[in-house]
């Protein structure tokens, strides 16, 4: 199967997926948030083949999510540390964790997010920093941004037209509006 490179597409979701969307990348980042930094730690945690782990760590370094740091010269050994860009991925992991618990954990929640000071379980939601309001449909929608090309602007104009038509007809939300 031919690998498709999403990282250069005009869509920010596709670009992000191009950096983290390989099967192992998100799990490597998860483990990095748990403090793992060394090749052997990642390999033991994930049970991943060494050649695959080498490629995945290299891709995460190339994407700027991890930084390679030398911790031993003899023999040469590197560790992999989250960068600021990598640390900014944590809310995405928490959103995936919450969504997974809600929809794919019939046995119950095996991992939860808690307040580190109190231990009280949190309920992660995406909130607009400007208004403080939870970002839920239909109150918030995606729209073409300042750098959008003509094709993207047309796609989002059509999306707005569909929303307006649904508003008049009373029909519900359309998954294509993302």
pLDDT 10s digits, 83-121: 999 999 999 999 999 999 999 999 999 999 999 999 999
Instruction: Please tell me whether residues 161 and 143 are part of one structural domain.
Output: yes
| pLDDT for 9 beyond 90 | no
> According to the model, what pLDDT value does residue 92 have?
93
pTM, two decimal places: 0.82
Among residues 8, 172, 25, the alpha carbon closest in space to that of 93 is found at: 25
Instruction: Please tell me whether residues 79 and 97 are part of one structural domain.
Output: no
| Domain end marker among 87, 112, 127 | 87
> According to the model, what pLDDT value does residue 3 have?
63
Is 3 a domain residue? Answer: no
107 near 143, Cβ under 8 Å?
A: no
Percent of the chain with pLDDT over 70: 90
69 near 79, Cβ under 8 Å?
A: yes
| Domain end marker among 30, 56, 87 | 87
Instruction: Please tell me whether residues 101 and 149 are part of one structural domain.
Output: yes
Instruction: Please tell me whether residues 41 and 65 are part of one structural domain.
Output: yes
Beta bridge mates, 66 = 82
Q: Where are the alpha helices (DSSP H) in the chain?
A: 12-20, 25-33, 39-46, 50-62, 84-87, 90-104, 150-169
- For residue 45, the domain's CATH number is 1.10.10.10
- Tally of domains within the chain: 2
> According to the model, what pLDDT value does residue 169 have?
65
d(CA 133, CA 174): 22
| pLDDT for 66 beyond 70 | yes
Query: What's the domain range around 111?
Result: 90-177
| Domain end marker among 87, 107, 122 | 87
């Amino acid at each position: 199967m031919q690998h498709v490179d999403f990282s250069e597409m005009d869509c920010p979701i596709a670009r992000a997926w191009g950096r983290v969307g390989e099967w192992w990348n998100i799990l490597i980042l998860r483990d990095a948030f748990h403090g793992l930094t060394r090749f052997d730690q990642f390999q033991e945690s994930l049970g991943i083949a060494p050649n695959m782990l080498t490629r995945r760590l290299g891709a995460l370094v190339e994407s700027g999510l991890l930084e390679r740091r030398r911790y031993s010269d003899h023999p040469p050994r590197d560790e992999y540390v989250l960068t600021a860009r990598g640390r900014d991925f944590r809310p995405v992991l928490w959103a995936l964790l919450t969504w997974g618990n809600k929809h794919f954990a019939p046995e119950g929640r095996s991992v939860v997010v808690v307040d580190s000071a109190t231990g009280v379980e949190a309920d992660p939601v995406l909130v607009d920093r400007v208004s403080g309001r939870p970002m839920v449909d239909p109150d918030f929608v995606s729209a073409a941004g300042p750098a959008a090309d003509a094709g993207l602007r047309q796609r989002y104009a059509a999306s707005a037209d569909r929303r307006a038509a649904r508003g008049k007809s009373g029909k519900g939300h359309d998954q294509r509006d993302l």
